[in-house]
A and B are shown apart, each in its own frame.
Chain A
């Protein structure tokens, strides 16, 4: 049988998906011709925002490269806009005069951006945000580093604003409605979003009615109805889209808001399908990718003779693709009499969750700040799951439901085959497992290539990996969770997450609730748990000294012969005659055999007997010295050079800053030791570029470095960011330390943590997101209230006296009978 001729007008994501499905179902049924008004291949339009912000390049968002069209035998006319559909002759004709005959036609002309017809809307410098050309135009405009106004505070507008800001522009977002993204978010989440957007330095003006776009030769600003004027070199209109149905209308097809289709996706002409954003189905038009992909599947099945295939609009989920802002909404979340809601707010973590219920069925969800459970809620919305059994804990998410808790795999194992894993590409669990079995796939990349799961935004990568693991068992182990120790199967990250989620505030509570396999842990897990509890519940958790390594238990460093070394703090490496005299006296009084200068610019007294420790500390305390914490998984030293005080090259007061940092941060516990340095100029005499955190002073301020190492591993630091003032420097360093305290695994040095979580994510949190930095800084400051107590003074005063004295001494006659 001769192949039928299929012509496709448009080469966006929806027809691309339809063709993929078609070739899957019936590789040889059609000879395909595509006319594309854009002069390029099919690319992932959802990912335009990361291209705009510079996080991805065009090549990375191409869905079908030229090779794919050749392989499938498709004739692709790039840059050919179709000007006529002749339904009598069954042909289409492009503006360049190319004509193709069809047996079946797919119209996928997409949508046009809505242009508000205010005065000035045609001025040069006014753009829309729709395709790669717009992105290129915006990136070009952004090179001026000027001012941009984005009209529209919806999904697209906010992504455009964030992208332009990332390109260096000063951005104002104008939004007609009282809160941002009102179609996807309730007002509370809209408010949180506005705060987060503003914290990134983007100005938001809600209830803003644009009066005119100002300028004569090109745009110079925007005036609102209330008279406010925002100067602008670039105006981006992102107020919505309108189905592009002109061609269909001209061909006499039924068009309302969009091209009207019946559930089988056929237009009023049964041989002509319409697909994508140009469509109106069940009275609705569509802009998100998931329903478009559903349509694509229906078109493909109809084309291969499956008359039962039908499209019905489903609830949709939205995720904002702005780095650092986590936002997810799904379903219907409006208020109504017959609805109930469950709300969780956690202001310190910046989390807001709202679930909307109707007759014990979840119908809508808005998540802000913690969106990990979004797909799980969305799945329940689509399936109409009765949630009465888990109502009490529903809002805490999937991790909280019964036995699934300790084992993330169990949750994935329990998902039905039709559960959606990849929202971007509409890939369900069953598709992944089937492909793995059919094709013998063994890696994430292969699964991506064959299923498209996690191939777009990548946020479902973890889930996809878990599905692979379920299919392949232990032979697949790319990101295997290393258990903390033999006492548990949970990894450090899981334990930390559960400590917070379940509010576990003691070691016995953790062991009980998380099913520890031993009665009281071991020397690996107990110090780790003790640290996590100190970090996560400052002021509430009482330190468990029996779960401390000996050095931290007795606040000195054990030596090979069982004696200890004592290192008093010398702020920024500064000392005085008084301190040195006191140290000399202590050395004489307790016959301390070795005195040595350390690498961290202080003095080490080696060979102190354990029972002498409190007396040694007492004498040092009296001279004003406190513990140097040379034994601690915590802040050790802040090494400095002499800076502007003395050095002819010094650019800033590096010694003074080092002292300030040390006085601000001493006493804090961290996952592993934390060593710092401040150098007064790029000659870097304090060797700041191999420290956990380092500062290099420059004329314009302070370059903040981190993630260096000079021990078993040697690593130069990376630059985290630049600060203009000492206060800003300290805020950045404290926030960085707090992030490390909260994310680091016990005994994981900062450079290993940075490698694991990615320096970019750290930079995002600390440098790009001032609000997050501030929250971290505040948490650090709060925890310091309980940490800055000199442990030596406490013990001089009698704390833990049993540690330093033998319980008894047996004289010879007793023991020898």
Chain B
């Protein structure tokens, strides 16, 4: 099912991600969190909070942000940056939607695998 185009990997149907929720994609670069905001837009981040490594996929999604389930850091889905007074950034994976399918940027995942894997 994870059909591959040249640079983009199909990880599943957007509909399978709950609105204001997330799903996990297991990868060589570790777990990735794919989010679907209330407005339907989809984002992907490495599933690790820059604070203590909490699984962001398990947090509450609000607007274009997610609150980490461990210590309530708020991470921007658009940039991966911690919001407010907290500082830190989690790597972001570019996303495309084609025919309702979620495609992740393969090169970004590969780079992540090299730097963090």
Docked-complex contact A546 and B26, CB < 8 angstroms: no
CA distance A817 to B107 in the complex (A): 7
Q: Decide yes or no whether B2 CB sits under 8 A from chain A.
A: yes
Which residues 42-73 in B have Cβ within 8 Å of A in the complex? 52-55, 58-63, 65, 67, 69-70, 72
Stretch at the interface among A323-331, A451-459, A521-529: A521-529
Instruction: Please give, as numbers and ranges, the residues of chain A lying within 8 Å of B11 by CB-CB distance.
Output: 807-808, 810
A519-B38, A808-B11, A810-B2 are known contacts. Are A546 and B21 too (CB-CB below 8 A)?
Answer: yes
Instruction: Please give, as numbers and ranges, the residues of chain A lying within 8 Å of B55 by CB-CB distance.
Output: 558, 562
Q: Decide yes or no whether A216 CB sits under 8 A from chain B.
A: no
Which residues 495-540 in A have Cβ within 8 Å of B in the complex? 518-523, 526-527
Q: Decide yes or no whether A814 CB sits under 8 A from chain B.
A: yes
Q: Max chain A CB contacts within 10 Å: which of B23, B72, B74?
A: B23
| 23 A-B interface contacts by CB (under 8 A) | A522-B67, A522-B74, A523-B60, A526-B60, A545-B18, A546-B18, A546-B20, A546-B61, A548-B60, A550-B60, A560-B52, A806-B26, A807-B11, A807-B25, A808-B26, A809-B2, A810-B26, A810-B27, A810-B28, A814-B4, A814-B9, A815-B110, A816-B28
Q: Decide yes or no whether A668 CB sits under 8 A from chain B.
A: no
Docked-complex contact B60 and A547, CB < 8 angstroms: yes
8 smallest beta-carbon distances between A and B, as pairs: A523-B67, A807-B23, A523-B60, A546-B20, A550-B69, A809-B26, A810-B27, A550-B58
Docked-complex contact A562 and B106, CB < 8 angstroms: no
Q: Max chain B CB contacts within 10 Å: which of A519, A814, A815, A817?
A: A815
Interface string of B80-112 (1 = CB under 8 A from A): 000000000000000000000000001101100
Which residues 792-817 in A have Cβ within 8 Å of B in the complex? 802, 806-812, 814-817
A520-B38, A810-B11, A815-B9 are known contacts. Are A549 and B69 too (CB-CB below 8 A)?
Answer: yes
CA distance A522 to B29 in the complex (A): 29
CA distance A23 to B44 in the complex (A): 76
Chain A: residues with CB nearer than 8 A to chain B? 518-523, 526-527, 545-551, 553-554, 558, 560, 562, 802, 806-812, 814-817
A802-B18, A807-B25 are known contacts. Are A816 and B60 too (CB-CB below 8 A)?
Answer: no
Docked-complex contact B38 and A562, CB < 8 angstroms: no
* CB proximity of B14 to chain A, nearest CB, Å: 10
CA distance A816 to B7 in the complex (A): 10
Instruction: Please give, as numbers and ranges, the residues of chain B lying within 8 Å of A521 by CB-CB distance.
Output: 62
A526-B60, A549-B60 are known contacts. Are A810 and B24 too (CB-CB below 8 A)?
Answer: no
Name B7's closest neighbour in chain A (CB-CB): A817
Docked-complex contact B59 and A523, CB < 8 angstroms: yes
Instruction: Please give, as numbers and ranges, the residues of chain A lying within 8 Å of B25 by CB-CB distance.
Output: 806-810
Docked-complex contact B54 and A562, CB < 8 angstroms: yes
* CB proximity of A171 to chain B, nearest CB, Å: 54
CA distance A815 to B19 in the complex (A): 26
Docked-complex contact B34 and A815, CB < 8 angstroms: no
Contacts beyond the supplied A807-B23, A810-B25: 5 A-B pairs with Cβ under 8 Å: A519-B38, A545-B18, A549-B69, A807-B11, A809-B2
Docked-complex contact A518 and B34, CB < 8 angstroms: no
Instruction: Please give, as numbers and ranges, the residues of chain B lying within 8 Å of A554 by CB-CB distance.
Output: 58
CA distance A765 to B12 in the complex (A): 55
Docked-complex contact A520 and B63, CB < 8 angstroms: yes
Instruction: Please give, as numbers and ranges, the residues of chain B lying within 8 Å of A811 by CB-CB distance.
Output: 2, 28
Docked-complex contact B67 and A815, CB < 8 angstroms: no
Instruction: Please give, as numbers and ranges, the residues of chain A lying within 8 Å of B58 by CB-CB distance.
Output: 550, 553-554, 558, 562
Docked-complex contact B110 and A816, CB < 8 angstroms: yes
Instruction: Please give, as numbers and ranges, the residues of chain A lying within 8 Å of B106 by CB-CB distance.
Output: 814-815, 817
Docked-complex contact A808 and B62, CB < 8 angstroms: no
Instruction: Please give, as numbers and ranges, the residues of chain A lying within 8 Å of B21 by CB-CB distance.
Output: 546
Docked-complex contact A519 and B29, CB < 8 angstroms: no
* CB proximity of B56 to chain A, nearest CB, Å: 10
CA distance A524 to B113 in the complex (A): 34
Docked-complex contact B61 and A808, CB < 8 angstroms: no
Q: Decide yes or no whether B78 CB sits under 8 A from chain A.
A: no
Docked-complex contact B60 and A806, CB < 8 angstroms: no
CA distance A802 to B39 in the complex (A): 20
